[in-house]
Amino acid sequence: MEDEVARAIASVTAALDTAIVQGTPEEAASHFTVDAVLGESGAADVVGRDAIAAFLARGNQVRAVTSHCIHRDELLVLGDRAIEFGWFDETKVPHGGMPVSEQGRIVTDWRRDPDGAWRMARLVISDLPAA
């Protein structure tokens, strides 16, 4: 069961990575629960899937994300919930600017929604280096 959950969550994470680079903000936000919370260092929490989509859309107005990858360090499966610890690396290119590489730590609270899909209920991002 834990291996199945780990694979399902890894699949969602890969889809999120792809959506952030190639998809729309709505596609990326679809991997969050309706009542999800996105927390980033130095910023107020973004609450709700629609607000997360709007947050991502605002970001796309000033920069393009050219690569995005979340890496898992540990996954704790707790029935229909899971907690994932890991790190991310991404490259952003401000419109008219030079690429900027960022790395940091993440903690994700996953929830299996009633439709059976695993979605992020809370994603906490720290821009502290992963190493």
Question: For residue range 19-40, what is the model confidence (pLDDT) as tens digits?
Answer: 999 999 999 999 999 999 999 9
**Has residue 59 been placed in a domain?**
yes
Give the structural domain span for 26. 2-126
Among 43, 68, 69, which Cα is nearest to 58's?
43
What is the pLDDT at residue 75? Answer: 97
**Has residue 117 been placed in a domain?**
yes
CATH number for 93: 3.10.450.50
Give Cα separations from 12 to 8, 32, 117, 123 (angstroms): 6, 10, 9, 13
Percent helix / strand / coil, the chain, rounded to 5: 30, 50, 20
Residue of 43 and 46 predicted with greater confidence: 46
In the chain, the number of structural domains is: 1
Residue found under tokens 């899971």: 82
pLDDT in tens, 47-76: 999 999 999 999 999 999 999 999 999 999
Among 62, 56, 64, which Cα is nearest to 27's?
56
Q: Per-residue confidence at 128, pLDDT binned at 50, 70, 90?
A: low
Q: Other C-beta atoms within 10 Å of 40: how many?
A: 15
Contacts for 6 with CB less than 8 Å, ≥ 6 apart: 75, 77
**Has residue 131 been placed in a domain?**
no
**Has residue 84 been placed in a domain?**
yes
**Has residue 19 been placed in a domain?**
yes
Structure tokens at 62: 């000033």
Structure tokens at 3: 């291996």
